[in-house]
Every structure is written in structure tokens, then in C-alpha cells.
Amino acid sequence: GEDVEQSLFLSVREGDSSVINCTYTDSSSTYLYWYKQEPGAGLQLLTYIFSNMDMKQDQRLTVLLNKKDKHLSLRIADTQTGDSAIYFCAESIRNTDKLIFGTGTRLQVFP
Amino acid sequence: SQTIHQWPATLVQPVGSPLSLECTVEGTSNPNLYWYRQAAGRGLQLLFYSVGIGQISSEVPQNLSASRPQDRQFILSSKKLLLSDSGFYLCAWSDHRPGATTEAFFGQGTRLTVV
């Protein structure tokens, strides 16, 4: 079945790097995504990676994909207080229109 | 540009009462539509998704149902709410293009409290 897991909490100091991890079970995913949710709001797409790529960099964001271990990570460089939010990884399932989300990681940035 | 509207923003309903949450999308045609529920500590759970009018896929057996009476309208319903139905409900849409990324655009959510 499709299952996406994340750790629930991460706390980092402002200026440090944050690494949020995600594991998934379905090997037929086509794209993997990272979404950000501000308090009391919907989700917004941060970045995505195609399943045949290993890494994608977008400004302060670096996505690493290990297909063998079914592990996805999001690294945020120079983390700021405005990065405090819940981060969800998600996968789209090949040949369907399903979009499966993880449990979400609450990132807290302290000064 | 495309927009998604979801209402109401908050709702308090007694146990056993009916539910109707509505979501509409503007500026696109034939979108994929999704209903998710976000409960504390359980992440974002896919409840229903639809690839076209009248086509509903249910992911989780429960006392909720969904309908898509028009191309850009998606409704989440219940005949009798349970306490466990409390949560934050999010509607989303994505482009229905084969091979494209399934980037989803979310509404602002409905906070449902069943009392």
C-alpha cells in the first residue's frame, strides 16, 4: 500500500541548516513533493523532484532522493524564523491521480 | 488565474447532525479534485479524489461521502456526524494532464468541530 512517514517535530537554531526526512513505501511514485503549511492555512508547494533524479537544488532548498531506500529529504540552508511551519512530503502514484501525503514535520526555529 | 474557494472556514456541529462542505475551482477545466482531512498527529489523510464529474474514488471507509455535481465543484457530506469527524478539512485541485506533475493547489481549509 501507499504509506508516507515523517518525524513529527524538528527544532533548529536560526541560521543553522534544517533537514527534514521522509520515507515512502510505494515504488511506483512518479514525482515527490515538499509542501509547506503555515498556521491555520492550506498547503503550498515548495519544490518537487522527479523520481528518476537524485538531487534538486532551489535557492536555500536542497532535495535528496534515495530510491533504493525510498528516502526523501529536504534541507533548508540558513533557516529563518519565517521557515517555522509544518512540512509535508508527498508522492504522486504512477498511472493514477492520487497524491499521498506524509504525516508532516513541525519545524520550529528559535533565535 | 486559477482560484479555489472552500467554505465555511469554521464549523461547529452537534453529533448526529448532517454535514456539507463545498469547494469550487475557477479558471481551469476538468481538474482533479481532492478532499483531505488533517487530524492532530495524523498528517494529511486522503479521503476522496475525483478525476471527472460523477467519478469519485474513496480512500478511507467512513461515514463521509463526496460528490462532484459539476466539473469544478466538489462537495463533502455526511448524514450523521461523529465526534471522530472533527478535524481540519482541505480541498485541493490539480491539473489533469497525463505525465504532468500532480502539483496540488489547496483551499484555506475548514475547521470542523463536532460537539
Residues of B in contact with A44 (CB under 8 A): 106
Cα distances from B42 to residues A4, A6, A107, in angstroms, run 11, 10, 16
- The reply to whether residue A103 touches residue B107, judged by beta carbons under 8 angstroms, is no
- The reply to whether residue B104 touches residue A45, judged by beta carbons under 8 angstroms, is yes
Q: Beta strand pairing status for B10-13 and B64-70?
A: unpaired
Who among A97, A99, A100 is closest to B96 (CB)?
A97
The predicted-structure confidence for B79-93, as pLDDT tens digits, reads as follows 999 999 999 999 999
The predicted-structure confidence for A32-91, as pLDDT tens digits, reads as follows 999 999 887 788 999 999 888 889 998 999 999 998 899 999 999 999 999 999 999 998
pLDDT band at B73 (very low <50, low <70, confident <90, very high): very high
Q: Which of residues 20-39 of A touch B (CB under 8 A)?
A: 30-31, 33, 35
Residues of B in contact with A38 (CB under 8 A): none
Contacts of B40 (CB under 8 A, 6+ apart): none
- The reply to whether residue B102 touches residue A31, judged by beta carbons under 8 angstroms, is yes
Mean per-residue pLDDT, A18-35: 88
Residue A3, pLDDT > 90, answer no
Size of interface A-B (CB pairs under 8 A): 68
Residue B98, pLDDT > 70, answer no
pLDDT band at B44 (very low <50, low <70, confident <90, very high): confident
- Exposure of A13 in the CB half-sphere (CA atoms within 13 A): 1
Residue B54, pLDDT > 80, answer yes
Residue B5, pLDDT > 70, answer yes
Residue with the larger pLDDT of the pair A105 and A96: A105
